[in-house]
Amino acid sequence: MRPFDYLRAASPDDASAAAAQGATIIAGGTNLLDLMKHEVVAPDTLVDITRLDLGGIEQTDQGLRIGALVTNSDLAADRTVRRDYPVLARALLAGASGQLRNKATTGGNLLQRTRCYYFYDTSTPCNKRDPGSGCAAIGGFNRIHAILGASNHCIATHPSDMAVAMLALRALIEITGAGGDTRTLPLDDLYVLPGDRPDRETVLNPGDLITAVILPPPAGATQIYRKVRDRASYAFALVSVACVLDLQDGKIAQASLAFGGLAPRPWSAKALNDMMLGETPSDALFERVADHLLAKAKGQGSNDFKIPLARRTLIAVLHEAVERAQP
């Protein structure tokens, strides 16, 4: 690890100001320190936000407000989340380990970096780590890489489970900028696709601090998170599906899908949800939804299996959701 200066932020504005001047925010540290040890990132200054008053889970007019420092374990254990947003509790519990969830924070989880092996290996080319150097994963080992949304410059996936569930729940994020202004943004608008700038992963500006995530009032529907991975626990998703679905008089009255492991960002598509609304659930409908999701899917060699795996996982989740949603 390279030497760095350590600051403890006294207020959110203080943290934003430091970050705007180039300091790197540290929360749980479970992703950042890992990357610093490999010298994938080498900040000159860390600004520690863990003493800020950014915890707490509370009901507000907008919905359930989750402070950026709420740990993944506290969020998964929260009774309101377990009752009203089970897809989120399930996604959190499917991620990492008990120890890591005790440290991992809501803000840090959203902004964790890819697990692409070459991103971690500083002896190989990687456009995300070292813009312009190339991409060792294209034509290399790419079992965990993207089949949707990738570019000729980067095929990495976003590793978060939590963000996938939050996307299906149509979460908003609250951000304090360097000037002290606060804004909210749909989580869907946070992430950008790699294009020719895979080092740029979100719309955040230097100095932007995530202060909270807001979940709209509960959907009251059947909620499922299914994660497929190489071992039963403590492994990242190869494919994951978050599903919020409701039936009324035998027809789909509400549908929201989001996917992990498939793309450089937590993936969703409004068209997928729209094509199910008002329809009677059927094998044919679910096949059409899968066709639509995967119409532009492209395998890279070792990850070709993700295309049929995503199809089968999605269809299985939709069947389970319909079964559970029957009165």
Partner 1 sequence: MQTKLTINAQAHTLEADTRTTLLDALRFHLGLTGTKKGCDHGQCGACTVLINGRRINSCLTLACMHDGDEITTIEGLGTPEAMSTLQRAFVEQDGFQCGYCTPGQICSATAMLDEIKAGWPSHVSDDLLADPDLSDIEIGERMSGNLCRCSAYPNIVDAIRDAAGTDSA
Task: Write out the residues near partner 1 by the rule CB under 8 A.
Answer: 1, 3-6, 26, 28-30, 33-34, 37, 46, 48, 50, 73, 76-77, 79, 82-83, 86, 89-90, 93-94, 96-100, 102-103, 232-234
Q: How far is the CB of 196 from ligand SF4 (least distance, A)?
A: 11
Q: Where are the beta strands (DSSP E) in the chain?
A: 5-8, 24-26, 45-48, 57-60, 63-67, 172-176, 182-186, 209-215, 222-228, 239-248, 251-260
Contacted entry of ligand SF4, partner 1, ligand FAD, none for residue 135, CB cut-off 5 to 8 Å set by kind: ligand SF4
Scanning 3-11, 74-82, 101-109, 288-296 for contacts with ligand FAD by CB under 6 A, the matching segment is: 101-109
The total number of residues shown for the chain amounts to 327
List the one residue from 96, 242, 252, 322 that touches ligand FAD (CB under 6 A). 96
Q: How far is the CB of 263 from partner 1 (least distance, A)?
A: 23
Q: What is the Cα–Cα distance from 80 to 269, expressed in whole angstroms?
A: 27
Contact (Cβ atoms closer than 8 angstroms) between residue 254 and residue 263: no
> Is residue 126 a contact residue for ligand SF4 (CB under 6 A)?
yes
Contacts of 306 (CB under 8 A, 6+ apart): 147, 238, 239, 261, 262, 297, 299
The number of helix segments (H) and strand segments (E) in the chain equals: 12, 11
| Nearest Cα residue to 254 out of 217, 219, 215, 214 | 219
Q: How far is the CB of 7 from ligand SF4 (least distance, A)?
A: 29
Q: Which of residues 178-217 bind ligand FAD (CB under 6 A)?
A: 209-210
Contacts of 295 (CB under 8 A, 6+ apart): none
Contacted entry of ligand SF4, ligand FAD, partner 1, none for residue 76, CB cut-off 5 to 8 Å set by kind: partner 1
Write out the residues near ligand FAD by the rule CB under 6 A.
24-32, 34, 49, 68, 95-96, 100, 103-105, 107-109, 111-112, 159-162, 209-210, 236
Write out the residues near ligand SF4 by the rule CB under 6 A.
114, 116, 118-119, 126-128, 135-137, 154-156, 198
